[in-house]
């Protein structure tokens, strides 16, 4: 299985290539990609240099142009596709019909991957994208259990890529407007979720730290305890007279234990989340999973390397998410 690793900066790209990534995904520094954070992402020149570096290390570069193009301004997205092709990127990852159509028409020689943001969660939807745009690989929305992925792979002719580590969307990717409801900025429209400029921390009378997003208090921490980031779907809410993590606990995905099952289910590529993360995260997680993937054939134990990644997970807590049916 191919190990697909994130890079938010040229330094992270080099770190991922050095740590043994088979492929590295990244995006341009604008709203065309779903990690549109200040100080992150690539200029066309940086991307071109990154591609040269990655190729020298035997790694591919996949460019995420996976937000939905703004009405009246689609050319920004089309330009991003053209730039990615000009930089000799190995594949383009897209979700919007307009972006997919442009890539398929203007760059038919370039591999096209369907972004998780397209939320293609049935063989029919995947056939549609494959037949219409020549999509070669689909990044699966995090709604499937492993047996369901195996069944899906029997029904489709394209490759599948699944998330194995990092931040975990609880809502179906590409079908969530919670962030824009609270803040006006959304993954689909602006490429951000729960954006930092809408986050506020304040102390209540008892000294507890309250975390707010868009003015809504969605988490609280004991005095002196480490404060988590108020991502909307991992906040605390009250419903039915009870208060707690209604949608999901503050946890991160780690599907290490399921790698063999995913391989048997016919998965082609394993994806690590975290384009917003620093070099230490990239180097640590990529080398850990490199060892884990290689261990599937060599039998070498990657357990300790993976256990060391716990500190990279939200609140130090991990889940195998939807891959186990009980998660639902």
Annotated binding site for [4Fe-4S] cluster: 169, 176, 193, 233
Residue-by-residue DSSP string for 254-309: E-GGGHHHHHHTT--EEEE--TTS-HHHHHHHHHHHHHHHHHHHH----HHHHHGG
Rounded Cα–Cα distance for residues 7 and 9 (Å): 6
* Whole-number Cα distances in Å, 109 to 88, 157, 229, 243, 267: 11, 19, 41, 53, 24
- Which residue in the set 11, 131, 203, 307 belongs to the binding site for other proteins (CB under 8 A)? 131
- Which residue in the set 56, 105, 224, 238 belongs to the binding site for other proteins (CB under 8 A)? 238
Which CB, 115 or 287, lies closer to other proteins?
115
- Which residue in the set 56, 71, 197, 304 belongs to the binding site for other proteins (CB under 8 A)? 71
* Whole-number Cα distances in Å, 21 to 242, 312, 324: 44, 18, 26
7 touches 282 (CB < 8 A) = yes
* Whole-number Cα distances in Å, 235 to 44, 178, 219, 229, 309: 37, 12, 5, 9, 23
Query: Residues 195 to 214: which contact other proteins by CB under 8 A?
Result: 210, 214
Q: Does residue 255 interact with other proteins by CB under 8 A?
A: no
- Site string (152-191) toward other proteins, x via CB under 8 A: ------------------xxx-xxxxx-xxxxx-x-xx--
Cα 229–chain centre separation:
17
Which CB, 122 or 311, lies closer to other proteins?
122
**What is the DSSP pairing of strand 111-114 with strand 242-244?**
unpaired
Report which DSSP code applies to 28: B
- For other proteins (CB under 8 A), the number of binding residues is 68
* Whole-number Cα distances in Å, 6 to 16, 21, 165: 7, 9, 11
- Which residue in the set 5, 24, 61, 118 belongs to the binding site for other proteins (CB under 8 A)? 118
- Under DSSP, is residue 210 helix (H, G, I), strand (E, B) or coil? strand
Q: Does residue 117 interact with other proteins by CB under 8 A?
A: yes
Interacting span for other proteins (CB under 8 A) from 53-61, 118-126, 255-263, 299-307? 118-126
- Which residue in the set 207, 240, 299, 304 belongs to the binding site for other proteins (CB under 8 A)? 240
Q: Does residue 249 interact with other proteins by CB under 8 A?
A: no
- Which residue in the set 105, 242, 299, 304 belongs to the binding site for other proteins (CB under 8 A)? 242
Residues near other proteins (CB under 8 A) are 68-72, 74, 95-98, 101-102, 117-125, 127-129, 131, 142-144, 170-172, 174-178, 180-184, 186, 188-189, 210, 214, 216-220, 233, 235-240, 242-243, 246-248, 322, 325-328
């Amino acid at each position: 299985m191919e190990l697909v690793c994130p890079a938010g900066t040229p330094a992270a790209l080099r770190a991922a290539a050095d740590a043994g990534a088979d492929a590295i995904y990244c995006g341009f520094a604008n709203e065309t990609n779903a990690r549109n954070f200040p100080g992150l992402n690539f200029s066309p020149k940086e991307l071109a240099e990154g591609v040269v570096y990655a190729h020298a290390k035997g790694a591919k570069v996949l460019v995420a142009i996976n937000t939905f193009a703004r009405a009246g301004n689609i050319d920004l997205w089309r330009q991003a596709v053209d730039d990615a092709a000009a930089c000799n990127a190995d594949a383009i990852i897209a979700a919007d019909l307009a972006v997919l159509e442009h890539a398929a028409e203007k760059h038919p020689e370039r591999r096209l991957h369907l972004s998780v943001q397209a939320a293609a969660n049935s063989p029919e939807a995947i056939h549609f994208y494959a037949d219409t745009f020549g999509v070669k690989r689909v990044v699966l929305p995090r709604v499937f259990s492993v047996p369901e992925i195996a069944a899906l792979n029997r029904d489709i002719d394209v490759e599948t890529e699944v998330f194995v580590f990092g931040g975990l969307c609880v809502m179906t990717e590409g079908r969530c407007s919670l962030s824009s409801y609270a803040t006006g900025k959304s993954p689909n429209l602006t490429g951000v979720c729960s954006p930092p400029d809408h986050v506020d921390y304040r102390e209540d009378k008892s000294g507890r730290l309250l975390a707010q997003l868009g003015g809504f208090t969605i988490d609280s921490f004991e005095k002196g305890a480490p404060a988590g980031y108020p991502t909307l779907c991992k906040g605390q809410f009250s419903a039915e007279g009870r208060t707690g993590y209604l949608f999901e606990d503050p946890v991160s995905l780690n599907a290490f234990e399921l790698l063999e099952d995913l391989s048997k289910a016919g998965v082609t590529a394993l994806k690590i989340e975290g384009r917003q993360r620093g070099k230490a995260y990239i180097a640590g997680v990529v080398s850990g999973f490199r060892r884990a993937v290689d261990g599937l054939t060599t039998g070498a134990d990657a357990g300790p390397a993976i256990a060391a990644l716990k500190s990279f997970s939200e609140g130090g807590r991990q889940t195998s998410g939807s891959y186990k049916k009980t998660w639902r």
